A = this chain, B = another copy of it.
Amino acid sequence: MLTRIDHIGIACFDLDKTVEFYRATYGFEVFHTEVNEEQGVREAMLKINGTSDGGASYLQLLEPTREDSAVGKWLAKNGEGVHHIAFGTEDVLGDSEAIRGKGVRVLYDQPRTGSMGSSITFLHPKDCHGVLTELVTSNPDH
B-chain residues with CB within 8 Å of residue A18 when the two chains form the complex: 129
B-chain residues with CB within 8 Å of residue A59 when the two chains form the complex: 5
Q: Quick check: is A81 within 8 A (CB to CB) of the other chain? A: yes
Of all chain B residues, which has the CB nearest A3? B49
Which residues of A are interface residues toward B (Cβ below 8 A)? 1-5, 8, 10, 12, 18, 21, 24-28, 48-53, 57, 59, 79-82, 85, 87, 99, 102, 104, 125, 128-131
A10-B131, A80-B130, A85-B8 known; A27 vs B49 contact (CB < 8 Å): no
The residue among A3, A50, A53, A81 with the most chain B CB atoms within 10 A of its own CB is: A81
Of all chain B residues, which has the CB nearest A28? B2
Contact between A102 and B3 (Cβ–Cβ < 8 Å)?
no
Contact between A49 and B48 (Cβ–Cβ < 8 Å)?
no
Give the docked Cα–Cα distance between A27 and B130 (Å): 19
Q: How many copies does the complex hold?
A: 2
The binding surface of chain A is classed by DSSP as mixed
Give the docked Cα–Cα distance between A51 and B49 (Å): 6
B-chain residues with CB within 8 Å of residue A4 when the two chains form the complex: 48-49, 57
A2-B26, A26-B2 known; A21 vs B128 contact (CB < 8 Å): yes
Give the docked Cα–Cα distance between A28 and B5 (Å): 12
Contact between B129 and A26 (Cβ–Cβ < 8 Å)?
no
